[in-house]
Amino acid sequence: MPTIRETLNRIKWASPSGLSDCEIVIVHRGVPGDLKTIKGSTIKDVAPRAMLIEEKGEEIVIPYHRIRVIRKGSMVVWEKKSRGV
């Protein structure tokens, strides 16, 4: 399975719209359900260990281990597999 970074870079460079029509679901403690959806258009960099987004004029680092789902349109292109207990 490709890594999160490989998946994001493939979408960024292979798609005419880049990451703009993607949604990334991340773990975000304190919001309902502890999950937050980020629009691909806010992604400024797909760095080696994290993606950098810009929200309200502020640059935020999102480590890849917090990403749960990557969607392009209605299609899930990457999803974290849950570990059995």
Q: Where are the domains of the chain?
A: 4-74
pTM assigned to the model: 0.89
Cα separation, 21 vs 56, whole angstroms: 19
CATH of region 4-74:
2.30.30
Higher-scoring residue by pLDDT: 82, 75:
75
pLDDT for 11 beyond 90 = yes
Reported as a single tens digit per residue, the pLDDT across 30-76 is: 888 899 999 999 999 999 999 999 999 999 999 999 999 999 999 99
Strands (E), the chain: 22-27, 35-39, 43-46, 50-55, 58-63, 67-72, 75-79
In the sheet with 67-72, reading across from the earlier edge strand, the strands are 35-39, 22-27, 67-72, 75-79
